[in-house]
Amino acid sequence: MKTAVMRTLVSASIALGMVILLCACAPEGIILERQGSYSPAPAPRNSPPPWAPAHGKRAQHSYRYYPSSMVYYDEHQAVYFHCDMGTWRVSVELPRSVSIDLNEYVTLEMDTAEPYRYHEQVIVQYPPGKVKKQKNKKKG
């Protein structure tokens, strides 16, 4: 009985933490700070929302999303998107305070140069700790 109560409390604490973190990095309050040289490509007009399944050439951006640290990596531009105290930042390197498991990611294809705009949907679809680890084929 006590174990079930403890599990429920732990689950509730994790859920509350996720809500607080999600609210801190909600798209409505985005202040994007860019470091290094990065300029997003314009989105095409009259296309489905970026979160919709991509058909044909609509998906122009590919990201690796690391759920455990809520970091996006733009494979083409070689930049990271990460939330730092409510501000989404773009940089070529992650700060030392942010660590990612290189084998725990999902690949997202979107029609936006700003993947954090759909972070609310992404975090529901890929919650931390629920993504299977990828086999790292590259050595080095």
Across the range 65-69, mean pLDDT stands at 94
CA distance 79 to 117: 16
Q: Does any domain span residue 132?
A: no
Across the range 82-105, mean pLDDT stands at 92
73 is in which domain, residue-wise?
2-38+48-125
Residue 126 phi, psi dihedral angles, 5° rounding: -130, 75
- pTM, entire model: 0.59
Q: Does any domain span residue 131?
A: no
Q: Does any domain span residue 137?
A: no
Domain count, the chain: 1
Residue 61 pLDDT > 60, yes or no? Answer: yes
- Please calculate the CA angle 78-119-75 and round it to the nearest 5 degrees: 15
Q: Does any domain span residue 53?
A: yes
For residues 80 and 72, the answer to whether their CB atoms sit within 8 Å is: yes
Q: Does any domain span residue 130?
A: no
Can you say whether the dihedral through the CA atoms of 14, 20, 25, 28 is positive or negative?
positive
Percent of the chain with pLDDT over 70: 51
* DSSP E strand stretches across 46-138: 61-66, 71-74, 79-84, 87-91, 106-110
